[in-house]
Chains A and B, each alone.
Chain A
């Protein structure tokens, strides 16, 4: 009998079209994912194949979110079909067996719901086949598919996910016997998945994400976060790691739910709870007798208004009081609170709850939940009358359909508003509770109007229209989801159409910054919102004609009925809205496509290809360099305009006379539009490529070797109207920040304009491009350039005259030598105290300034008035850095050290000579009131201060390894400042954990291949992450002073020296004498090669000895792994010094003993003596060595 229920369930499902539709959709999605080069979902970038097992797993895992909807449909149907058809009483009175019925249906539904996801597999098969064949992707972008990819994914994702979610939905359906509640259960599962995701924001809570994610996606993400591209291409998902634990956990939960559901399930209907009627008081019943009143029916505008209000109330209350909404409200609040409490920014540190921060948390929740509610309730509302069986009465009553429709849309909007405002209140409450006493209610309100309300209005109209047109609730849902989530994907990612005019219902985003408010994007956003709202109203006006009244079926009848309802008034409304829409479209089009035309990503790609093909031949022609420079920069913040005039010297440092000057206007390849014109005296413009930005001038008299001439460069940025996407954030109303590169042309051919991505280059038949020149001291060309200016200039003198509006302060590097007012504007003249790189920033904003002096150096912090939390800490950090650096590296050459706040669009700090912009999003708002947190402010400021030596005094030659000399050294210097202040190894370890993470995750995302540290090609994960880890470990092994001596000697040799510039070989030359022979291997293993370790503590015991001491013995398993030039990991012979030790406590606070031992074999035993009882033994207690798994390094006794 079990069989007959099972097969009946399956055959019924197979006969219905749904299974094929979903299967087909998943197939299509996966196929397109494989054959379209622009889609990098699942991480198919660089060397990761389009059909790598990792990518397949990411697809399967993520598609199972959509699969949930399918599971809901099948399991709910299996559970409720008999009840809904009122067949239950007939069926259950027959002699069927409970287990067969229950499990037959269950497994039938389980089987059915796994089928559509198999479409992903088919998609990968098809895509891998037709992709290379049709030439849409290169053949080397796909690998061989193996059966195991599919089987493992089926048994680890498809089946368990459908089982667990199915178990929940089946149980819920049987318990409450309501489709709606089953859907709510699905939504709760999805929300649970989202909540689990918030634990990923910090490495200290990510294990929670791995466990709580019902779909197992996060677990796999954590398991695979250190995967290199080779591992992504070869590792087939298996039952191991967090995923295994997660699967076991959830399958058990699924089993428990199923079994308890089975136990409580019964064919016999339980007695329905009957509510006791409240006794009605006598007074109430003795009411007067009403007589039929004379009533007047009238039909005019007032009637429509009253009808609207009445409809609105009914529709709004039914949703407001519905369980669905209550659950959404609770779930949304939980998610937000979870985010607020766990929202780590950086190195496990949180921000003060400034308003932009809480907005960052609440807005996405409102948006995601808003979308879910809009989809769900749009269907509910459109079908409200029909599903309540009251449609006959309502449809036959004398109201205009548009009144009803507007009331429904309004209630849909208002319900979202209620939700949104609820979250805003939670945010404000959180701010107040955290001691942030002046929440910016106006900002919440404005953000709500700009980003919330407009979206609710747009999508309410669109989704209600879809429900009307489709006229089937569930297919309507399906299309709604497709439009909301996939339309943008198709338009923007696949067709590469960037205009928001075609991106249904979406508008440009702004990022709110305390400094710069809603930014220039606000104007665009509001115009696009208006555009889409009018579009929505147009749909609604049309939709009201097609609104089904009565039992109209078929297109013919709908049109017939539409014609009848198409009254004059209706026509007038339609025409009015249409014209408003047309006018807005024209205006938006004019502004975003005509006045502010932009190039698509594809067009820019083509330009890059043409540029390379046409001008690569000029790459090495001798050109004069830039010399001393005076900038005149006028910033107009209110208008967002910037005019710059650069007086710059040209120096012929070559051995020959030069009579042609080549310049590239490289800004053409960026989104910002700067007009750059050159004024070169006594010359003729002999060639001008306006399309690609290439200029050739011929000098009347050639520039002789060793001589110089002066030229002037004008650069203008003028903002006009509004743009599709703000192209130039750099020029802002409050917080302008540009670099000199924006206002200068490039000398000669600019390599940086070339297409970078190797796969793109293959597409256009361009040769493979080296990211950077090979590390080679004999490379005469590149050794003469530094990697910063790339040969355009060496050490030069810089002066800046910068002006801005009266209320702002304008800043450039150097000492402020003059300040004056003219024409109602403020002028400032800055001059660099020392020759420097031509690396200059120009900034302007309303700043408060805090100052301090140390040894004659002005320490200054320029900050936004509300962000005064950490100013003293910043001033101290500069002072601490100056103390350490002047003592260990040499003199600081500037008269000032400034930290300047910049808007949060820039997620970084940067060092210009003596002048260091630092983002408001980190540092200025970071909450370091807890002394135990990682002091990221000190770390970052010390890093930027270190750059005043490492980059600004000595800078690497333009080849591999250059950034080790600036970034890794600055990281090291910052770590030393921290270490000397806090003097606590365990806190340093806590901090360095994030550097390990940066490195290990970074190498996993490497698109090409990982290089050893001394050959780093400007990859952050290597020069920051690995650089920190290795140099920190090195100073632990050979001594801080030794490293500092090597650094100082290196600095002294190359400080402000004209070319040739130093390479990493030069540093290693200075390092070598400082390293004892016994540790020489470290330089090879850590700096010149890629080495990983894998240690395991197999056993740990202690024995009390007769002398009252304790003998500890540790059994260690040890491997050393080297990564060869192909990226393949090999175990190698070991001879390594490693720390082992014991802690007094299991919290690892007090390391009571440690010693450095020599590891030579894969299995080794060590023993030593300690005075008191140890609690925990550990290998590498300070975490100096690069290991991926460290949990197995420790054991409690």
Chain B
């Protein structure tokens, strides 16, 4: 399996460049897509899921030309959009059954078996005859995950899947994905950096419609070895520091800002070298305007 995206561009009617000449190759396994809000992650995913037109560029999944032949792609697609709602007055079982039919599972026995299996997997089997509309956000999200796995998809696209899940559910979800990830491509967009590090063999970071970083998570992290420094400062010093140094992030620790600075050498007094995290990578890649985040 090989997903090849070449020179993909999309500009919305309001002038926003959602995708800017983006090229990317993805092979089997989990692929993490990181990026701040509005980076174009969802646009890319929607385009991959045949739900949005691109202005130019091509996308192929093996032989399938996604832009030209969306119908073929849909046959091998599992998709969980960022917002997943449900029909009113329909039970969990009915909903999954309906979606299974849509995915071409016409054998009734197989379908019932599959629906039951998935409901168990996402721990909703007991609630299978309840109206989905009344489910909590996390439960709905689990139904969403279940439906994305229906029908042997070759390409699974999950947009922010773990938002709203409690830690237990999140773990369960990770295991579920790992189970199926062997022969298929799973693209996972998230802004939870941890998810990517834990799950993905490959990853990329997007900003403003462009790909700004790509590789195996450990490799990208390694690039920042010996370059990330941290220091606890006073709040009123923040502006001075941001003028002086390339601050990649700051967070509050005990009421004081803890800043991370990117530098080849020790930037100054009080800074200590820390081992980089994916978060540092993320911030260093997207925060090029020297704004304090």
Contact = CB atoms under 8 A, between A and B. Distances in A.
A313 B69 CA distance: 29
Nearest to A287: B125
A561 B53 contact: yes
Interface string B98-121: 110111111100110110110010
A297 interface: yes
Interface in A291-322: 291-299, 302-303, 306-307, 309-311, 313-314, 317-318, 321-322
Contacts of A392: 46, 49, 51, 79, 81-84
A291 B148 CA distance: 17
Interface in B49-84: 49-53, 68-71, 74-75, 77, 79-84
A671 B49 CA distance: 62
A393 B81 contact: yes
B28 to A, nearest CB: 19
Interface stretch (A11-19, A232-240, A550-558, A907-915): A550-558
A389 B51 CA distance: 14
A433 to B, nearest CB: 34
A321 B87 CA distance: 12
B142 to A, nearest CB: 14
User: Quick one: which of A303, A311, A314, A567 has the most chain B CB within 10 A?
Assistant: A314
Contact of A299 (B49, B69, B104): B104
A388 B88 contact: yes
Given A388-B85, A564-B70, A292 B51 contact: no
Interface stretch (B89-97, B182-190, B256-264, B275-283): B89-97
A87 interface: no
Contacts of A309: 101
Contacts of B71: 398, 400, 565, 567
A293 B52 contact: no
B105 A398 contact: no
B84 to A, nearest CB: 7
Contact of B98 (A297, A314, A388): A314
Contacts of A396: 49-51, 74, 77, 79
A531 to B, nearest CB: 33
Contact of A310 (B13, B50, B79, B102): B102
Contacts, number: 146
B68 A564 contact: yes
A295 B111 contact: yes
Interface residues of A, number: 53
B152 interface: yes
B94 to A, nearest CB: 7
B113 A393 contact: no
A399 B81 CA distance: 18
Interface in A499-535: none
A393 B50 contact: no
A553 B13 contact: yes
B240 interface: no
Contact of A297 (B50, B69, B75, B83): B75
A284 B130 CA distance: 14
A551 B48 CA distance: 12
A560 B53 contact: yes
Contact of B51 (A294, A384, A550): A550
A550 B74 contact: no
Given A290-B116, A290-B117, A317-B90, A552 B81 contact: no
B89 A389 contact: no
Contacts of A765: none
A1131 B88 CA distance: 69
Contacts of B103: 297, 397-398
B144 interface: yes
B114 A398 contact: no
Contacts of A709: none
B209 interface: no
B126 interface: yes
A284 B89 contact: no
B102 A322 contact: no
Nearest to A403: B102
A388 B13 CA distance: 25
B217 interface: no
Contacts of A285: 126
Nearest to B179: A292
Nearest to A305: B106
Nearest to B149: A292
A567 B69 CA distance: 10
B87 A314 contact: yes
B150 to A, nearest CB: 8
B147 interface: yes
A1145 interface: no
A302 B105 CA distance: 10
Nearest to B13: A554
Contact of A388 (B80, B86, B111): B86
A394 interface: yes
7 contacts: A290-B116, A293-B113, A295-B151, A299-B75, A311-B102, A551-B46, A564-B70
Given A292-B117, A297-B75, A397-B74, 10 more contacts: A290-B116, A297-B104, A314-B87, A314-B90, A321-B89, A392-B49, A393-B148, A396-B49, A550-B49, A551-B46
Which are the 8 A-B pairs with shortest beta-carbon distances?
A550-B51, A389-B85, A392-B81, A297-B104, A398-B74, A290-B117, A293-B113, A397-B102
